[in-house]
Amino acid sequence: MGVLNSRQVDINGHAALRADSAEFQCNFGRRAFSLEHDLAENSLFSLEVLEDAADSWAKLGKLNLVSVSMGQTRTDARFSEIAEKSSISGAIRDLSHSGSYVKISNINALNANYEEVLQQALRDVEDLLGQRVVPRITWAQMTVFLASPNIVTPYHIDHEANFLCQIAGEKDVWLYDPNDRELLPDREIERFYLGDLNGALYREHLRGRGRQFRLTPGVAVHHPSLAPHWVKNGANVSISVSINFCMRELDRRAHVYQVNALMRRIGLRPSPPGRSVTGDTVKARAIEFVGTSRPKNYRDAVFSGLDRLRAPYRLAKRVVMRSTR
C-alpha cells in the first residue's frame, strides 16, 4: 500500500518479548511488570517509515485510525479537553517542537510486516506463559504512539491487556493496581464500559500507590486490563509500540459491568463481577446474545451487545424529539 510497500523494510529482528518465565506466569494479567523486547532496532518503527504508515491510512480514508492532538501536561486532564489537530501531514516530522501526540491504530492491518510482528509477539506471550493464549483472544492490534518532549498522557484505564514497548526516547509510566476499589471504584469502571473514556478519576492523594516504570529503548512494561495509568514523556521525541488484545474472559467481565450499569440506572444495586458465578454468567450472556460473535474490531468485541440494546431507546428518543419540533 502506497509508499510503505515500495520501501525495503527490515523484518529480521522479530518482536521477541524476553522475560523471566516464572515472573511472567506469576504476574501476567494481574500486576504490572517490566520486560525486554527486540523492536527498538527494527526499521519498521523508524520515524520515516511510521510517517509513511500514517499517510497511507489517511490516503485510504481511514482517518479514524490516525489521530493527532495537542499534548497535555496535566495528569488529571480529561480526554474530552484534548484538542484534535486537523492536519496529519507533517505532524510526525514536527514532533520535536510541536507539543503534539500522534496515535496510529491497528497498524498491523496496513502492512503484512507489522502483522507478522504482532503475531510473533503473541507467540512469545504463549511461550512465556507455557499455555495457549491466542484461542482466547477476540481482538488484537498493534498501536504506535509518538509524542513530543515532556507530553503527559492523562490518567485513564484500558480494557485490553497490553505490552508497551519503548522504541525511541524515554518515558515514565505510572501503573496502579486494577483491583484497588478505593482507587478505582466499580461505578467508575461501569461508566468506562458505557463508553466514557473519562470514567476513571485521578485521585492525587492516592498517587503514591502507583509503581513507576522507566521505559528506554528495548524496555517494555505489561499493563493488565483496567490497570489505571498515566505517562510522562522525557526530554526527546518518544516512539512506543503497544501490543494490545482483548480476551474472552476480559470481554465477559466488561459485559457484566455493562449490565450492572444499566441495572443501576433503574434503581437496582447489582453485585460487582466475581461475587456470583451464576449472576455473572446470566449478565454476560444477555449482552453476548445480542452482540456479534465474530468481532472485527475493539468496538465489536466490547460494545456491540450494548450498542444493540441501546439502539431502540435511541431511535425512540429521536422520534420523540422530532415530534416535538
* 161 and 81 housed in the same domain: yes
User: Would you say 244 and 141 are in contact if contact means Cβ atoms under 8 Å apart?
Assistant: yes
Strands 100-104 and 66-70: antiparallel
Q: Is the dihedral of CA 44, 157, 256, 126 positive or negative?
A: positive
* 94 and 55 housed in the same domain: yes
12 pLDDT above the threshold of 60: no
| Each residue's pLDDT tens digit, 102-116 | 999 999 999 999 999
Domain end point (choices 191, 225, 247)? 247
* 121 and 227 housed in the same domain: yes
* 22 and 92 housed in the same domain: yes
Band (13; pLDDT cuts 50, 70, 90)? very low
79 pLDDT above the threshold of 90: no
* 235 and 291 housed in the same domain: no
Domain end point (choices 206, 227, 247)? 247
| Each residue's pLDDT tens digit, 235-279 | 999 999 999 999 999 999 999 999 999 999 999 999 999 999 999
* 79 and 181 housed in the same domain: yes
* E runs forming strands in the chain: 17-18, 33-37, 66-70, 100-104, 137-147, 152-156, 161-168, 171-175, 211-215, 219-223, 229-233, 238-247
319 pLDDT above the threshold of 80: no
14 pLDDT above the threshold of 80: no
* 298 and 187 housed in the same domain: no
3 pLDDT above the threshold of 50: no
Stronger pLDDT, 61 or 211, i.e. the higher one: 211
Structural domains counted in the chain: 2
The domain spanning residue 24 has which CATH number? 2.60.120.650
| Each residue's pLDDT tens digit, 131-164 | 999 999 999 999 999 999 999 999 999 999 999 9
Domain end point (choices 247, 282, 309)? 247
84 pLDDT above the threshold of 80: no
Q: Which domain holds residue 193?
A: 2-247
* 156 and 293 housed in the same domain: no
* 302 and 220 housed in the same domain: no
